[in-house]
């Protein structure tokens, strides 16, 4: 059996991706800060006949990464697909004229360095087996300039470039790396809650998307491996 690890699992796309891959026989490893929330995800999947386990960790602290990856492989044997989400507090987002070294470094730590650290830990096993996939979620500002969202966009633009380079090298090794770049607010997600509470904080109008539909995109990216990036939403085109 194969294992899907979701780093930065939430109630929107994270849980939907777990269900989609779980229906294909994958076991699920959920990683995020809240042990109580992760337990509820595990319980929900168990009721649907999907095997899952929770691995609470603060992924913003890169010193925890090795331990959580080892814990997953101790439990399930392999990590065959990894969904790797960045960590960012939307209240720390800065428009372009307010970015300084400290604020951009904060964005880079959560949105670039944490995903890079995790991918470096799970890649060796995938390369050794000649199969696997890294799936990253990006915001539309990583692809298209959006001055109100310049700090997360500037950070994730570097990760987006890395993903494209990574996929070009990994393809011949049987491993896929891909970005799902989203110009949408994901329904049932933490971002939807924040957006609905203070839509003006985001500076742009954003359409909504069903996380089940986005999870289907992840599955298609993993199985078809046609290109290194898929986009959803008008502002991500």
pTM for the model: 0.94
CA 7, 12, 15, 18 torsion-angle sign: negative
Strand positions, DSSP E, 188-233:
207-209, 229-232
106-121 pLDDT, tens digit per residue, is: 999 999 999 999 999 9
* 55 DSSP β-pair partners: 31
pLDDT (tens digit per residue) in 149-173? 999 999 999 999 999 999 999 999 9
Question: What is the per-residue pLDDT for 168?
Answer: 98
DSSP for 28-94, please give it. Answer: EEEEES-HHHHHHHHHHHHHTT--EEEEE--TTSGGGHHHHHHHHHHHHS---EEEE-----GGG--
User: What is the pLDDT, as a whole number, of residue 199?
Assistant: 67
User: Domain boundaries in the chain?
Assistant: 3-236
pLDDT digits (tens, 9 = 90+) for 47-78: 999 999 999 999 999 999 999 999 999 999 99
The 10 Å CB-count burial string (b at 16+, else e) for 134-163 is bbbbbbbbbbbebebbbbbbbbbbebbebb
**196-232 tens-digit pLDDT:** 777 666 566 678 999 999 999 999 999 999 999 999 9
Question: In this structure, what token pair is assigned to residue 1?
Answer: 């059996």
Query: Which secondary structure element, helix H or strand E, spans residue 159, and what is its range?
Result: helix 150-170
- Rounded CA-CA distance 12/9 in Å is 8
Taking the mean position of all CA atoms in its chain, how far away is CA 54? 16
Helix (H) or strand (E) holding 117: helix 114-129
How many CA atoms within 13 Å lie on the side-chain side of 61? 10
Say what the alpha-carbon torsion angle 53, 37, 20, 222 is, to the nearest 10 degrees. Answer: -80
CATH architecture of 3-236: 3-Layer(aba) Sandwich (3.40)
Tell me what the mean pLDDT of segment 160-188 comes to. Answer: 96
Give the integer Cα–Cα distance in Å for 50 and 52.
6
């Amino acid at each position: 059996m194969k294992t899907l690890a979701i780093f930065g699992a939430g109630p929107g796309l994270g849980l939907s991706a777990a269900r989609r891959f779980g229906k294909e026989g994958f076991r699920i490893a959920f990683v995020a800060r809240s042990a109580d929330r992760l337990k509820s995800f595990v319980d929900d999947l168990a009721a649907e006949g999907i095997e899952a386990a929770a691995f609470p960790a603060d992924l913003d602290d890169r010193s925890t990464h090795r331990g959580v990856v080892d814990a997953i492989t101790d439990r399930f044997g392999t990590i065959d697909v990894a969904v790797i989400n960045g960590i960012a507090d939307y209240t720390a987002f800065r428009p372009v004229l307010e970015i300084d070294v400290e604020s951009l470094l904060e964005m880079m730590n959560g949105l670039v360095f944490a995903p890079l650290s995790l991918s470096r830990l799970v890649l060796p096993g995938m390369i050794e087996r000649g199969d696997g996939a890294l799936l990253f979620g990006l915001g539309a500002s990583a692809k298209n300039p959006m001055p109100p969202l310049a700090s997360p966009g500037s950070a994730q633009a570097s990760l987006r470039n890395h993903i494209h380079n990574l996929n070009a090298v990994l393809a011949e090794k049987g491993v896929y790396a891909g970005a799902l770049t989203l110009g949408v607010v994901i329904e049932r997600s933490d971002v939807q809650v924040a957006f609905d509470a203070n839509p003006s904080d985001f500076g742009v109008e954003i359409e909504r998307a069903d996380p089940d539909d986005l999870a289907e995109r992840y599955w298609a990216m993993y199985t078809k491996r046609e290109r290194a990036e898929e986009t959803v939403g008008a502002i991500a085109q």
